[in-house]
Amino acid sequence: GDSVTQMEGPVTLSEEAFLTINCTYTATGYPSLFWYVQYPGEGLQLLLKATKADDKGSNKGFEATYRKETTSFHLEKGSVQVSDSAVYFCALRGSTLGRLYFGRGTQLTVWP
């Protein structure tokens, strides 16, 4: 069935460090892929998405490329800020009526 596996956390970085959070998926067909972010005390919000192979989603300095050959959608940012501290969730849109399958989330903490 459809599933997402993402890198276990927590991840702790200094400001301006490079960030990678790994995400791989299992799905039939050609799913859409998402990264959501949850800031402290808030619900999830969409960070970026990609709908087909080789698409690159980007937002707020974050990027992720849909790699069908490696079934991956890794999140990257070249220089993190304290304000990026949050929980990041990788997700895929399955074949069932628009439902999403989420990874377990990765807690990122950025220190000044």
Partner 1 sequence: DVKVTQSSRYLVKRTGEKVFLECVQDMDHENMFWYRQDPGLGLRLIYFSYDVKMKEKGDIPEGYSVSREKKERFSLILESASTNQTSMYLCASSPSGQGKDTQYFGPGTRLTVL
Q: Interface residues with partner 1 (CB under 8 A)?
A: 32, 34, 36, 41-46, 49, 51, 89, 93, 97-100, 102-105
Nearer to partner 1, 31 or 84 (CB): 31
Instruction: Give the H/E segment covering residue 110.
Output: strand 106-111
Q: Does residue 61 contact residue 79 with C-beta atoms inside 8 Å?
A: yes
| CA distance between the termini of the chain | 41
Least distance (Å) between residue 89 CB and partner 1 = 7
Nearer to partner 1, 20 or 51 (CB): 51
Least distance (Å) between residue 72 CB and partner 1 = 18
Q: Does residue 64 contact residue 89 with C-beta atoms inside 8 Å?
A: no
Nearer to partner 1, 20 or 45 (CB): 45
User: In 10 A of CB 100, how many CB atoms?
Assistant: 18
Least distance (Å) between residue 60 CB and partner 1 = 16
Nearer to partner 1, 14 or 59 (CB): 59
Q: Does residue 76 contact residue 63 with C-beta atoms inside 8 Å?
A: yes
Beta partners for 89? 36
